[in-house]
Amino acid sequence: MIAKRLLLLGPPGAGKGTQATRLAERYGIPQISTGDMLRAAVAAGTELGRRARALMERGELVPDDLVIGVAAARLAQDDAAEGFVLDGFPRTVAQAEALRSLLDRSGLQLERCVAMAVDEGAIVRRLLLRARVEGRKDDNEATIRERMRVYREQTAPLIAYYRTQGILAEVDGMGSVDEVARRIEEALKT
């Protein structure tokens, strides 16, 4: 059996988005990226976007209430009933507890958290390249280093959180996209 209510966890630039897209296509489940939703809100100039913009440009996390609200609305949509791939949410233990509560109310549970381990130097190089290719202003070296610091302080504790729940699988995130995908596929077997 393959887990289909998934969370991909890892530092910025670990390849979560790439792998989440592949998993969503393979299993016919939605990729739920709060980062993408927040960037769309910024581009659209919505109230949420205006509130999030300054924080994102400084590499800071958007407040839990905003992120949880965006994620809750998306998880409530019909296409997420059979499964989903979370990418970028939760980012803190408080968000993880809110997610657990949301899923509990729906009679669901997260089936697997896949933590991708990637060398920090490789991440900086990946994100600087992404900034050039995609024109993302939030990917400059100072912001990347700040995002890494925030990840270590606020998101990395989720590894222990999900380990205690017995749903954590740690995979090496270094290598080709296909190599990492194969490792993740193995980690999804229940």
Catalytic residue among 50, 58, 132, 136, which? 136
Does 136 participate in catalysis according to the annotation?
A: yes
Stretch (H or E) spanning 22 = helix 16-27
Does 91 participate in catalysis according to the annotation?
A: yes
Does 125 participate in catalysis according to the annotation?
A: no
Does 130 participate in catalysis according to the annotation?
A: yes
Helix axes 64-75, 47-57, angle to 10 degrees: 120
Cis (ω within 30 of 0) for the bond into 90? yes
Residues 6 or more apart whose CB falls under 8 angstroms from that of 183 comprise 171, 172
DSSP states along 127-153: HHHHHHHH--TT-SHHHHHHHHHHIII
The C-alpha atoms of residue 136 and residue 102 are separated, in whole angstroms, by 32
Catalytic residue among 112, 126, 147, 183, which? 147
* Contact assessment for residue 39 and residue 137, using Cβ atoms and an 8 Å cutoff: no
Catalytic residue among 53, 74, 91, 126, which? 91
Catalytic residue among 4, 39, 100, 130, which? 130
Does 16 participate in catalysis according to the annotation?
A: yes
Name the nearest CA neighbour of 157 among 16, 6, 14, 9. 9
The upper half-sphere exposure of residue 128, i.e. CA atoms within 13 Å in the direction of its Cβ, equals 9
Catalytic residue among 16, 22, 112, 183, which? 16
Residues marked active site are found at 16, 91, 130, 136, 147
